[in-house]
Structure 1
Amino acid sequence: MADGDRQALRAVYERTAAKLFGVCLRILDNREEAEDVLQDVYLTVWNRADSFDPARASPITWLATIARNRAIDRRRQLGPRIFDRPVDGAVDVADETPDALALLHRSDDARRLAECLDGLDGRTRVMIVTAFYGGDTYNELAETAGVPLGTMKSLIRRGLMRLKECLSS
């Protein structure tokens, strides 16, 4: 894809569109917005394919991260106006392929990450996993936990620093 091969883009799209659409829909809870974000994700991937670094992440993790970030950006841009309904229904999006977290567990890096995550206190681990794999924003996490936004940001930042230290040892 980095060489401009449209067939490569098609292959990536066919293998990942359902999963990435699920990520977008879960965060946005609006089919039209999720479809728009998904299109933006593939445009970004097409334009930035040469920046993919397999040493940093697997392809699906890289794609899911882009989708998650774009969906969160769109949700923030739109504000609360289209998010009146709970997002519980998004869990039922039909997709039989493993999610990003399940794919991570299949590799040695995933094993190390899981071990390091297990080394965190329960609250910090849950907040980090919910933020990075569930798509919740800092504001949503703080509200759910009943803590100030700054406290939540600090909790996650300290947790990520401990994860980085654990993974680098």
Structure 2
Amino acid sequence: MQDLNDDALMSAYAAGDASAFEALYARHQAALYRFIRRLLGTALAAQTDEVFQDTWLRVVHARASWDPQGASFRTWLFTMANNRVIDLWRRSGREVSIEVDEDSDSGPWEPEGTAAWQHWPPPASATLPSEDLAFWRRAGERLLQCLEELPLPQRSTFLLHHDDGLPLADVASALNVGFETAKTRLRYAMSKLRTCMGAYLSPFQTSKGEAR
């Protein structure tokens, strides 16, 4: 089963092979759960299990009529999860409309230079000093906070493309928007994340308090 692609597994499951569903679940469950958790944010984190289980339940119910229509199983799976999250956001009274500045002719604001980024230590490795490991731990925590500050459309676009590895065309399909809209949302998300991270994480300080 592990050698079959998603489409073949879903077809096998539709034909009554329960082990095909188990293989699909094992392959996608971690990424899907992470996507739902980060999309819901802290305020709605308690609903993560509900959305996760409901998404897989919809896979079960749709197995006989499943028709990807050109979309991959993963895109279809994340589309269902994203739609479920949008429903929860709306029921909780949160705004999910596109920001006005996304329709502006001017591009998103870009920070001048990359001064706050140039002094960051390299990513974690087996030989990284403890203070650098602590830096990246804080950086990861801060990134999650910055993600929560993004509007939901931009957050979902960023997560699908950068965290879950979907091509931008598939992201547009999953979110039911045009390619250029998805591209614009991603550009704004990246700009805001760079600003948020750069403003918070000033040039890294060594244990002696000297900037690198």
TM superposition score normalised by structure 1: 0.50
| 1:42 CA drift (Å) | 0.4
Partner of 2:65: 51
1:15-38 Cα offsets, whole Å, 9 max, x none, are 111111122112212433111100
In 2: Cα distance, 1:44 partner to 1:31 partner: 21
Runs of 4+ in 1 over 6 A off after TM superposition: none
| 1:79 CA drift (Å) | 3.1
1:38-92 Cα offsets, whole Å, 9 max, x none, are 0000000100123332442001001010111111112222335xxxxx993486x
- Describe the shift of the 1:7–1:65 C-alpha distance in structure 2 as closer, same or farther (beyond 3 A): same
In 1: Cα distance, 2:64 partner to 2:160 partner: 22
Q: Is 1:88 aligned to 2:144, yes or no? A: yes
| 1:124 CA drift (Å) | 7.2
1:24–1:37 Cα contact (<8 Å) kept? yes
1:34–1:71 Cα contact (<8 Å) kept? no
In 1: Cα distance, 2:26 partner to 2:183 partner: 33
- Describe the shift of the 1:104–1:125 C-alpha distance in structure 2 as closer, same or farther (beyond 3 A): closer
Match of 2:183, as an amino acid?
R
Structure 2: runs of 5+ lacking an equivalent: 1-12, 95-141, 148-158, 190-212
1:25–1:34 Cα contact (<8 Å) kept? yes
Structure 1: runs of 5+ lacking an equivalent: 81-85, 92-98, 135-169
| Larger helix proportion of the pair | 1
In 1: Cα distance, 2:28 partner to 2:183 partner: 27
In 1: Cα distance, 2:46 partner to 2:22 partner: 21
Partner of 2:89: 75
The alignment covers a number of residue pairs equal to 107
1:122-166 Cα offsets, whole Å, 9 max, x none, are x77323x58xxx8xxxxxxxxxxxxxxxxxxxxxxxxxxxxxxxx
Q: Secondary structure at the residue paired with 1:79?
A: coil
Of 22, 35, 43, the match for 2:34: 22
Partner of 1:61: 75
- Describe the shift of the 1:55–1:10 C-alpha distance in structure 2 as closer, same or farther (beyond 3 A): same
1:120-159 mapped onto 2 (5 Å cutoff): 120=180, 125-127=183-185, 129=186
Partner of 1:31: 45
Q: Is 1:6 aligned to 2:18, yes or no? A: yes
- Describe the shift of the 1:6–1:68 C-alpha distance in structure 2 as closer, same or farther (beyond 3 A): same
After the TM superposition, which of the residue ranges 59-68 and 45-54 deviates more from structure 2?
45-54
- Describe the shift of the 1:125–1:35 C-alpha distance in structure 2 as closer, same or farther (beyond 3 A): same
1:25–1:31 Cα contact (<8 Å) kept? yes
